[in-house]
Amino acid sequence: MQQTIERYQKYNKNVQVNSSNNNKLIEQRNSQQMEYEAAKLAKKIENLEASKRKLMGEGLESRSIDELQTTENLLEKSLHNIRAKKNQLYREKIEQLKQKEKQLLEENEVLCEKCRPRQLEQQNEQREITPYTSPDSYEVETQLQIGRPDLR
């Protein structure tokens, strides 16, 4: 029985040592992987910054005509895409505004229909209050003379 316990303890000790070694090995691999990823990302950032400087027109002195032409073509293509997207957004906004205009006109028509009876009522009240004046009436100047008409 004692031998079994000793074997178990020895085995358990070896497992713990192996486990500890495995953990260290895993940590080393993770550390190496992180370093590799960091270096890879740093290189990618450097390339993106160089590309940005190139597109911004910085450091063009050392560029060849072909590289400059390629950059110009790339910028023109990008500008075309930007303008196309901007125009698309304008068209969508115009459509939205037309829909809103249509909705507001319909709403205005409904409100006008609701207000018409009241307007007619107010017009009738106004007619009752003010005397009727014909648009055909004219002002005429008259004179009153006393005496016989043939002596004038």
The pLDDT of residue 132 is 55
Return d(Cα 93, Cα 115) in angstroms, integer. 32
- Which residue type does 133 have? T
- Reduced to 3 DSSP states, what percent helix, strand and coil does the chain have, rounded to the nearest 5? 80, 0, 20
Q: Long-range contacts of range 98-103, CB-CB < 8 Å, 24 or more positions apart?
A: none
Helix, strand counts (H, E) of the chain: 2, 0
The pLDDT of residue 105 is 97
The verdict on pTM exceeding 0.75 is no
- Per-residue pLDDT tens listing for the chain (152 residues): 888 887 777 777 676 666 677 777 888 889 999 999 999 999 999 999 988 888 888 888 888 999 889 989 999 999 999 999 999 999 999 999 999 999 999 999 999 998 888 888 888 777 777 655 566 666 777 777 787 777 55
| Tokens standing for residue 1 | 């029985």
Torsion sign, CA atoms 33, 34, 38, 39: negative
